[in-house]
């Protein structure tokens, strides 16, 4: 492979074709179905699919096929099949649905307003995960352009990832014959610790969520009359949450929600902490003098990748402060989102949480935990020697630095699905979601140079996959 030529090809296709296409893609508010139940009527998803389809069709390599598959009542899925010099399959994955808007976008920017400043393209969905289709196809085109052989490649882009990929299992079944049995999966929907090297995601957390409601009254009453007689629903809610999470440390309490962290992962967490240093926490927009939960950097890595942690992501039953009268409120509701260790079976946590939160309610108040969702995480199988070398070569060639390995705190349901289905498959899970890129939050950006280098890395890893021994 001529690395200079590959670099030039990727630079050109990104600057000339991909950045303009992503700019248009950012304008489309194609929120994932969980955030836009009317997505089908709105037609934005169709528009986003069309944009990617047109781009890809214009550039499809010889013999390749592209199909938009849509099962009744489900989000569409884009499938590109590129024949190769062997029947062995590489599966490349990304998604095109988006998170909702969020508040806090800087002046002059917004989720659906693409702004290109220097190395960054701001706007919703460019980095998470619109770039994936463009990067995956361009990587193969870069190999084709100089006749470097590769295995058969299948690019699969789904449209419900941000809703937890509920449609994907149906597509995986429906398309089983065409997906085949990949010996390598490349997932382009993950993060990177910095923009200086290739980062491989070694694990993803699972998640369990549910809505906790504490009801103490049939209707609100004067707080001067009732406080001290009627227990506060807010206080009971806090007490129940404290069954799950230590309010002083944020540590999750039930031992059943922890797993034994594999020694290799402990070692990699220490290495990642050394590489990243204080940027592990300084990348977050802390208010005032707020500090992280601990100063021990390796512990922070493990907290966000291998330990269960709680976030209260929504609250109801409370009026906005400007409308708040002196009233004891009839109920308080909170949406609880619990990240789970990678190897903990997600499905079993729902019943555990329900029992923990509903049993023996304080003051015999009405407590319900409902609307539960759960998904398992994923722990990467050990890398084959050829892949470990390919990853090292890619990182050295395109980033001038050795690669790094770290777990990610988020979830990609498809990886758990594939890991279960293909236990011997090798995985490269990587992405462009680095410091401040802020997927899901305001001011999301795509770091364009990283997008290019990830594309080059995919190309050389796919080439090395074909050339691997045995």
Alpha carbon 199 to its chain centroid, in Å, reads 15
Residue 444 binds to Zn ion (criterion: CB under 5 A): no
Nearer to Zn ion, 129 or 145 (CB): 129
| DSSP-based three-state secondary structure for 59 | coil
CB of 440: closest distance to Zn ion in angstroms? 9
Binding residue (CB under 5 A) for Zn ion from 128, 245, 444, 464: 128
Size of the site for Zn ion (CB under 5 A): 3
Position 145 contacts Zn ion (CB under 5 A): no
Q: In sequence order, which ranges of 110-221 are alpha helices (DSSP H)? A: 131-145, 168-174, 176-179
Q: Which stretch binds Zn ion (CB under 5 A): 121-129, 264-272, 285-293, 305-313?
A: 121-129
Torsion on CA atoms 301, 346, 428, 19, rounded to nearest 10 = -80
167 binds Zn ion (CB under 5 A): no
Tell me how far apart the alpha carbons of residues 276 and 184 are, in angstroms, rounded to a whole number.
Answer: 28
Task: Name the residue nearer to Zn ion (CB basis): 130 or 419.
Answer: 130
Among residues 231 and 377, whose Cβ is nearest to Zn ion?
377
Tokens of 392: 């090292």
Between 81 and 129, whose beta carbon lies closer to Zn ion?
A: 129
Q: Is there binding between residue 158 and Zn ion (CB under 5 A)?
A: no
Q: How far apart are CA 390 and CA 398, in angstroms?
A: 12
DSSP-derived letter for residue 346 is G
Verify binding: residue 129, Zn ion, rule CB under 5 A. yes
Rounded to whole angstroms, how far apart are CA atoms 125 and 35? 14
Residue written as token pair 């050829």: 386
If binding is defined by CB under 5 A, does position 408 make contact with Zn ion? no
* Cβ–Cβ under 8 Å, residues 326 and 224: yes
Give residues with Cβ within 8 angstroms of 155, minimum separation 6. 78, 79, 80, 82, 92, 93, 94, 133, 136, 137
Shortest gap between Cβ of 370 and Zn ion (angstroms)?
A: 27
Binding segment for Zn ion (CB under 5 A), chosen from 41-49, 127-135, 210-218, 246-254, is 127-135
User: Helices in 308-407 by DSSP H: which ranges?
Assistant: 349-358, 385-399
Region binding Zn ion by CB under 5 A among candidate stretches 113-121, 129-137, 224-232, 292-300: 129-137
Minimum CB distance to Zn ion smaller for 187 or for 198: 187
Report d(CA 431, CA 201) in Å as an integer: 9
Q: Give whichever of 142 and 187 is closer to Zn ion, judged by the CB atom.
A: 187
Q: Which is nearer to Zn ion, 129 or 245 (CB)?
A: 129
Tell me the closest approach of the beta carbon of residue 181 to Zn ion, in angstroms: 25
Smallest gap, in angstroms, from Cβ of residue 157 to Zn ion?
Answer: 11
If binding is defined by CB under 5 A, does position 189 make contact with Zn ion? yes
CB atoms within 10 A of CB 327: 15
Helix (H) or strand (E) holding 452: helix 448-467
Interface with Zn ion (CB under 5 A):
128-129, 189
């Amino acid at each position: 492979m001529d690395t200079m030529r590959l670099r030039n090809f990727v630079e050109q296709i990104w600057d000339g074709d991909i950045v303009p296409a992503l700019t248009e893609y950012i304008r489309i508010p194609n929120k994932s179905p969980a955030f836009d139940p009317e997505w089908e009527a709105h037609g934005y998803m169709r528009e986003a699919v069309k944009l990617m389809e047109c781009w890809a069709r214009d550039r499809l390599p010889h013999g390749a096929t592209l199909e938009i598959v849509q099962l009744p009542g489900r989000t569409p899925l884009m499938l590109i099949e590129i024949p190769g010099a062997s029947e062995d399959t590489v599966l490349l994955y990304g998604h095109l649905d988006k998170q909702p808007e969020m508040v806090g976008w800087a002046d002059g920017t917004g989720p659906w307003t693409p702004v290109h400043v220097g190395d960054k393209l701001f706007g919703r969905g460019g980095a998470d995960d619109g770039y994936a289709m463009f990067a995956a196809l361009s990587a193969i085109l870069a190999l084709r352009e100089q006749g470097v052989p590769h295995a058969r490649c299948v690019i699969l882009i789904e449209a419900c990832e941000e809703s937890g990929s509920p449609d994907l299992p149906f597509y995986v079944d429906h398309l089983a014959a065409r997906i085949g049995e990949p010996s390598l999966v490349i997932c382009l929907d993950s993060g990177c610790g910095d923009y200086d090297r290739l980062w491989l995601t070694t694990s993803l957390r699972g998640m369990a969520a549910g809505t906790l409601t504490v009801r103490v009254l049939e209707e609100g009453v004067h707080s001067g009359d009732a406080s001290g007689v009627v227990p506060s629903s807010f206080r009971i809610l806090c007490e129940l949450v404290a069954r799950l999470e230590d309010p002083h440390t944020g540590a999750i309490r039930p031992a059943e929600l922890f797993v034994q962290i594999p020694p290799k992962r402990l070692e990699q967490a220490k290495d990642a902490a050394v590489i990243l240093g204080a940027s592990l926490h300084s990348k977050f927009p802390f208010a005032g003098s707020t500090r992280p939960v601990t100063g021990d950097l390796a512990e922070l890595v493990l907290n966000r990748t291998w330990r269960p942690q709680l976030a209260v992501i929504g609250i109801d039953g409370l009026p906005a402060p400007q409308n708040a009268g002196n009233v004891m409120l009839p109920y308080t509701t909170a949406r609880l989102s619990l990240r789970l260790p990678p190897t903990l079976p997600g499905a079993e946590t729902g019943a555990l949480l329900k029992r923990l939160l509903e049993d023996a309610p304080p003051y015999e108040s009405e407590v319900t935990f409902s609307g539960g969702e759960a998904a398992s995480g994923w722990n990467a199988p050990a890398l084959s020697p050829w892949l470990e070398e390919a990853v090292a070569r890619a990182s050295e060639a395109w980033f001038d630095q050795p690669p790094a390995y770290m777990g990610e705190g988020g979830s990609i349901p498809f990886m758990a699905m594939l890991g279960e289905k293909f236990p011997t498959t090798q995985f490269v899970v990587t992405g462009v979601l680095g410091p401040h890129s802020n997927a899901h939050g305001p001011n999301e950006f795509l770091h364009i140079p990283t997008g290019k280098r990830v594309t080059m890395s995919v190309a050389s890893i796919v080439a090395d996959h074909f050339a691997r021994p045995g």
